[in-house]
Amino acid sequence: MKKATILGIVVVPLFVLSGCNKTAEPVGAIEMPSNEAHIIRVSFNQPKSNPQYIALEQMGKRLQERTNGTYELSIYPNELLGAQRESLEMVQIGAIDMAVVVGSLMENFNDDFAVFNLPYVFQSKEHQMDVINDKTIVGDLYTSLEEDGLSVLGAFHGGVRNVYNKHRPVEEPSDLTGLKIRIIESDTNIQMMSHMGGTGTPMGQGEVYTAIQSGVLDGAENNELIYANLSHVEIAPYYSYTQHLMVPDYIVAHAGLLENMTSEHREIFLEEMKHAIDTQVALFDKELEQAISTAKEAGAIFNDVDVATFQEAVQPVIDRHLASPEAKALYQTVQKAANKEGSF
């Protein structure tokens, strides 16, 4: 297991308040007046229309009601508190309280998270959600980061990631030759995109549109919601259903958040977090249909691919990450839990 560390030096904006009370305090402050509401600040990298944001917003309202105003959620969308990597670092040091981060970033803290980021590891959305929120499967993995200041509260469905670009439809790995594709920062993703035929280029989400538009990138890979809601369809009209990843989005909190709650408030908070996850999953399919319709109206050209050729191409990546007995055992557990209905 890779030991968790702070990933880099973080420059925290002065308006980021930790300790989470309504009174402005210096960054890093943890004391708070007992008669004021605890404001739980949540970093989020997508717009307010995203089902994850909506689910968290609803959670915040219920949490405030059930704790009689003791706790409130304040969600900052569109990378207002920084990109996911920076937000995760700030959560670890306690500068902010929570963040929603893509699963690939969790590999920097514990190598075993890579199992859930492997190509084609999940057979369906139902399979993924059954696994990543099952304590008998992920309990030890999620608690492994607590001694380093992080609590994994659960995971959202992050959609199925597919490739899109500005030049041509992609039907087989050779069609990606010579194309620079934005990926999430992780060794697994760099290796994966190389085996898929392209060149993986890590980059923050907020920079992708301009990078494709200017030619720094040829395309990216993500689900249809991101593709449509961030207007990437305007500069990369070819969307190809490679279905290569179904990476979870983890809800991560600073370990002190739960530790400082009363047992009653902690129980309420965790109940509402579970409800938020269920809400997000229920909202996702509806939003997905709307995103596809919006993208088509904007000129998107969707195409199917020969998925089997991509599965074969990335098999060496899977084999490489299952070298340890622990990773292999976890991967086998995931496969046993597969719901074959709706599989690739």
Q: Which residues contact 136 (CB under 8 A, 6 or more apart)?
A: none
61, pLDDT greater than 50: yes
> Do 41 and 74 meet the contact criterion of CB atoms below 8 Å apart?
yes
- Average pLDDT (82-101) is 94
Q: Could you tell me the two tokens for 16?
A: 């980021």
24 — pLDDT class (breaks 50, 70, 90)? very low
pLDDT digits (tens, 9 = 90+) for 147-205: 889 999 999 999 999 999 999 999 999 999 999 999 988 788 899 999 999 999 999 88
Q: At what angle do helices 325-336 and 135-143 cross, to 10 degrees?
A: 150
- Please state the separation of Cα 303 from the chain's center in Å: 25
> Do 311 and 242 meet the contact criterion of CB atoms below 8 Å apart?
no
Q: How many CB atoms lie within 10 A of CB 4?
A: 18
> Do 251 and 154 meet the contact criterion of CB atoms below 8 Å apart?
yes
Lowest mean pLDDT among 101-105, 155-159, 235-239: 101-105
Q: Which amino acid is at 225?
A: L
Q: Which residue has the higher pLDDT, 59 or 9?
A: 59
Torsion, Cα of 270, 271, 276, 282 (10° steps): 140
Unique residue bearing structure tokens 């990138």: 217
Helical residues (DSSP H) of 101-177, grouped into ranges: 125-132, 135-143
Using alpha carbons, list the distances in angstroms from residue 251 to 84, 157, 322, 333: 11, 11, 25, 22
Rounded Cα distance, 321 and 323, in Å: 6
Q: What is the pLDDT of residue 36?
A: 74
Rounded Cα distance, 275 and 124, in Å: 21
Q: How many CB atoms lie within 10 A of CB 128?
A: 25
Full-prediction pTM beyond 0.85? Answer: no
Q: Rounded to the nearest 5°, which phi and psi values hold at 87?
A: -65, -40
